[in-house]
Amino acid sequence: MTDFTGVNPADRGSNDADATEYERDSAYRVDPWTLSRTGLDLHTLAASESLYSLANGHIGLRGSLEEGEPRAVPGTYVNGFFEERPLPHAESGYGFPESGETAVNVTDGKIIRLFVGDSPFDMRYGSIEHHERALDLRAGTLDRHTEWTSPSGTPVRVTSRRLVSFAQRSLAAICYDVEPLDGDAYVALQSDLLANESGSTPSSDPRDAAHLDRPLRAEFAAARDSRAVLVHRTRRSKLRVAAGMTHLLEVPDEVETTIEAAGDLARYTVTAKVPRGSRLRLIKLVAYGWSHRRSAPALRDQVEAALSVARLTGWDGLIEQQRNFLDEFWSRADVEIDGDPALQQAVRVSMFHILQSAARAEGQAISAKGLSGVGYDGHTFWDAEVFALPMLTYTMPAAARDHLVWRHATLGEARARAKELGLRGAAFPWRTISGKENSGYWPAGTAAFHVNSAVAAATARYLAVTGDEDFETVAGVELLTETARLWASIGHFNDTEFHIDGVTGPDEYTAIVDDNLYTNVMAAQNLTDAADACERRPEVAATLGVDADEIALWRRAAAGVAMPYNDDLGVHEQSLGFTRHAEWDFAATKKKFYPLLLHYPYFQLYRRQVIKQADLTLAMHLRGDLFTPEQKERNFAYYEARTVRDSSLSAATQAVLAAETGHLELAYDYWAEVAFVDLGDLHGNVDDGLHIAAMGGSWMVAVAGFGGMRDHGGRVTFAPRLPRALQRIAFQLTYGGNVLRVSIRRDGDTGAEEATYEVEAGPGLRTWHHGEPVDVRPDQPVTLPVPVASDVEPVQQPARRAPKRRHSNGR
């Protein structure tokens, strides 16, 4: 049995494949602005539910069918809402977290069950004449068209359109139409709010969520007319959630309606005779609210008010608001690709889901799966700041700010964690929902202190891009200060060199090491940014107890940070002594044994030169100002041969450095891998939700890879080049009050490349093109030639771990 990618499910987890396109066997049609497929494949139902998720950063609805069945994971999520659970340890130790947090599948408002005569509308029975679903990236809707004949022989057409509103944060809506196709039909609709749905079964995959059994306790239920509200509370975390629904009905004359609500179920029932040539239309409006403080009546009133506003807006008004929001987003964020239509589609799908994970989060985090599933328990990791926030910072900075505001709100927990560990400042958690540490595995969790530098780097980038003085005063200086204090307390000086020992870098196959180079150079940037911020805002620094001596210590540590180097090999070391470890036997490692963490003990992984995801390579991207071009080339070649990409985060970084070091076709291959990580289910776990950080990587490869954008020291520069298969890449960036459009083109006759820089809004700015300063003014685009890239020696990947070649335009 094969899925729509043409990959045997038994081989999932390996991203090495034969030389076929990712999309060749895909059931999804290639289209620049929609993700659509025809037919119903029960084997890939869970994956399509993830890809068809709708969200706005506050509410998330998986793409399950309105009828409730067939379905894989019902999935309705409200950002930040979780249940606590015990976190057992085989052997306890001081500082081990005692409880964990898991995102909860809250009350499901998607359900609209249809009965045609005495037959339930279930596409596993009867006959399907046509079935198509489409995610519309410009309208922000999930559209469905089904023609079905019941087991008793009655044909009907069912169409629906679903949205989660960007304009009205608490609201989701569904327009559901039923049309008889042959004579009159008697139909019944049951529109439900349903809590404590049975979901996925327990799993042994460490990437999956913990299993929760009926986490919600009913507190309130009420119904009148076509409106109902349910309020529930979690048993352990004591969080309260309210869900409400109301309906707008367009029906023939003969209709009966009832409504009821009790416990875990509220139901609005419509029974009607629908003559041929007419239709029954039900517009369902659903609102959500949650709190750890507010009472059940207060939450009830909140969702009631949201429903009233939505009724006043009307379905057409909601559709118009959604389109207007997305028109504005795409006008300043779109990435355009000429020469690879499938990649164009995949990149836009990725950007749309990044937007959905954050647009209206407003004080909550961006989790690893967004609001598309509960893989990784719905936790937020460091990759939100490193891979998702760059796109948002340069295209929708308010959403990036919201995530950083959430980090600032959790500083109390981070300070307490640092104190528990005997450190100063703040120790942000490796994985969390509320701000508490949820990692039960110390070497890859607590020891990965580089999460602090990720928060700091995202803070400094946001400040450089926006100049947001209010945020800097209220949150930015404090975030930079407390993260810097951690490095000052965890590191030590040996003469003039500053060392950070006993930590884990981004590569989780190498743990508890001294002087992880990525950690060190990112800590140095954190220390410098903190010193700069405190000197810009001395009044804020004074309230935090920062004095001149502390700032001087930070600057001394940043200047002296150790960067391990092997003189014999002529490469930097990922960590001190890494290049002296034994090599991994890649030739003897079969494809089915990837990802390695599911087939080998960490003890074996930690002792060898095998890399889960780009580590030192990531350092060369984010701190490229510390490396010469020659060092980047040698380092990239050395670590490319040892990186197996068992993490979805890796290929984006490898693409960026491949492009910078002249391996443009390899970068193009990696770009496709990043963009299709979920469309092709390359890591075998899209069923549990999307890889939001990898989706951010799709944008990153376009802008930082082939656009060559770097923002070292708050200065934005470009060094663009195209792979052979593409004729043009264009993108927009928001920076310093400007919207800058960058377009890279290849002449079809000569093959020469040029880049055009144009200010579409704002006063103008200075940037750099391949090292040369460029002043760009409004209505005065600047076009410059792209230098021809030098030839480079090919680099090698581990056996059976090379990326799939991207064949396009004859490649």
Q: Render pLDDT for 726-766 as a digit per residue (tens, 0 to 9).
A: 999 999 999 999 999 999 999 999 999 999 999 999 999 99
Residue 373, domain extent: 334-714
Average pLDDT value for residue range 345-351? 98
**Does the pLDDT at position 659 exceed 70?**
yes
- % of residues, the chain, pLDDT over 70: 95
Contacts of 409 (CB under 8 A, 6+ apart): 363, 435
Instruction: Indicate if the pLDDT at residue 14 is higher than 90.
Output: no
Q: Which pTM was predicted?
A: 0.95
Q: Are residues 323 and 285 in the same domain?
A: yes
Residue 225 inside a domain? The answer is yes
Pair 342, 326 in one domain: no
> What is d(CA 796, CA 242) in angstroms, rounded to the nearest whole number?
54
The answer to whether residue 770 sits within a structural domain is no
Q: Which residues of 355-375 are buried (b: 16+ CB within 10 A; e: fewer)?
A: bbbbbbbbebbbbbbbbbbbb
Average pLDDT over every residue of 12-25: 48
- pLDDT class of 206 with cuts at 50, 70, 90: low
Tell me the angle at which helices 477-490 and 450-466 cross, rounded to the nearest 10 degrees: 150
Residue positions counted in the chain: 811
* Coil, strand or helix at 221: strand
Give a yes or no: residue 768 inside a domain. no
Mean pLDDT confidence for 140-145: 98
Please indicate, yes or no, whether residues 172 and 157 belong to a single structural domain of this protein. Answer: yes
The reply to whether 808 falls in a domain is: no
pLDDT at residue 13 above 50? Answer: no
Burial of 181 (0-12, 13-18, 19+ CB in 10 A): middle
Q: Is the pLDDT of residue 211 over 70?
A: no
Separation CA 435–CA 525 (nearest Å): 24
Domains of the chain: total:
2
Rounded to 5 degrees, φ, ψ at 627 are -125, 145
Domain of residue 428, CATH code: 1.50.10.10
How much is the pLDDT for 348? 98
8: confidence class by pLDDT, cuts 50, 70, 90: very low
Determine the pLDDT at residue 444.
87
Average pLDDT over residues 62-70: 96
Cα-based distances in Å from 334 to 204, 242, 307, 733: 39, 36, 32, 9
Pairing of strands 171-180, 185-194: unpaired
Q: Bridge-partner residues for 247, per DSSP?
A: 284
DSSP-derived letter for residue 377 is G
**Cα separation of 240 and 219, whole Å?**
9
Q: What pLDDT is stored for residue 810 in this prediction?
A: 36
Contacts of 9 (CB under 8 A, 6+ apart): 1, 2, 3, 684
CATH code for position 236: 2.70.98.40
In terms of phi and psi (left: phi > 0; alpha: psi -120 to 50; beta: otherwise), the region of 52 is: alpha
Domain boundary among 697, 714, 731: 714
Whether 16 is in a domain gets the answer no
Cα distances from 604 to residues 180, 448, 599, 607, 610, in angstroms, run 63, 19, 11, 6, 10
Spatial separation of the C-alpha atoms in residues 359 and 342, rounded to whole Å: 25
Assess whether 319 and 345 both reside in one domain.
Answer: no
54-55, strands of its sheet edge to edge: 54-55, 59-61, 76-78
Which residue, among 466, 796, 536, 499, has the nearest Cα to 658 in the 3D structure?
796
**pLDDT over threshold 90, residue 158:** yes
Tell me if 191 sits within 8 A of 285, measured CB to CB.
Answer: no
Identify whether residues 500 and 539 lie together within a single domain: yes
- Which pair of tokens denotes residue 323? 């389109």
Residue 156: the pLDDT is 97
Same structural domain for residues 346 and 390? yes
* Residue 210 clears pLDDT 70, i.e. is over it: no
Q: How many other CB atoms are found less than 10 A from the CB of residue 152?
A: 10
Per-residue model confidence (pLDDT) at position 25:
58
Domain boundary among 331, 356, 376: 331
Assess whether pLDDT exceeds 90 at residue 198.
no
- Residue-wise pLDDT tens digits, 171-192: 999 999 999 999 999 999 999 9
276, 366: one domain? no
Question: What is the pLDDT, as a whole number, of residue 285?
Answer: 98
Residues 353 and 327 reside in one and the same domain: no
Residue bearing tokens 């598309």: 372
Cβ-contact 700, 385 below 8 angstroms: no
pLDDT band at residue 91, thresholds of 50, 70 and 90?
Answer: confident
Confirm whether 324 is domain-assigned.
yes
For residue 45, the SS3 value is helix
**Six-digit token string for 423:** 């450190």
Average pLDDT over residues 337-358: 98
Same domain, 567 and 605: yes
Pairing state between β 59-61 and 185-194: unpaired
If you average pLDDT over residues 137-154, what whole number do you get? 97
3-state secondary structure of 98: coil
Q: Which residues are annotated as a binding site for substrate?
A: 382-383, 612-613
Which of 284, 307, 331 is the last residue before a domain boundary? 331
- The residue-averaged pLDDT of 72-95 equals 91
DSSP state letter for 749: T
Distinct helix (H) and strand (E) counts, the chain = 19, 33
Kindly indicate the confidence band of residue 213, based on its pLDDT and cuts at 50, 70 and 90. Answer: confident
Residues 663 and 680 in one domain: yes
Domain check: are 239 and 278 in the same one?
A: yes
Asked whether residue 414 falls in the same domain as residue 309, the answer is no
Residue 2 binned pLDDT confidence (cut-offs 50, 70, 90)? very low
Structure-model confidence comparison of residues 98 and 408, the more confident one: 408
Tens digit of each residue's pLDDT (9 = 90 or more) over 227-277: 999 999 999 999 999 999 999 999 987 899 999 999 999 999 999 999 999
Going by the annotation, the residues of the binding site are 382-383, 612-613
Positions marked active-site = 508
Q: Which residues contact 733 (CB under 8 A, 6 or more apart)?
A: 394, 395, 703, 709, 716, 739, 740, 742
Confidence of residue 24 (pLDDT cuts 50, 70, 90): low
Rg (alpha carbons) of the chain, rounded to whole number: 27
Cα separation, 176 vs 431, in Å, equals: 39
pLDDT value of residue 392: 98
CA atoms within 13 A on the CB side of 252: 20
Residue 7 within a domain: no
Between 273 and 15, where is the model more confident?
A: 273
Q: Encode pLDDT of 404-448 as tens digits.
A: 999 999 999 999 999 999 999 999 999 999 999 999 888 989 999
Give pLDDT, residue 811: 35
Under 8 Å between Cβ of 762 and 753:
no
Which of 518-532, 694-708, 726-740, 794-808 is predicted with the least confidence, judged by mean pLDDT? Answer: 794-808
Within-domain flag for 188: yes
Distance CA 577, CA 379 (A): 33
pLDDT for 26: 72
Q: What is the mean pLDDT of the chain?
A: 94
> Residue 200, CB half-sphere, CA atoms under 13 Å: how many?
22
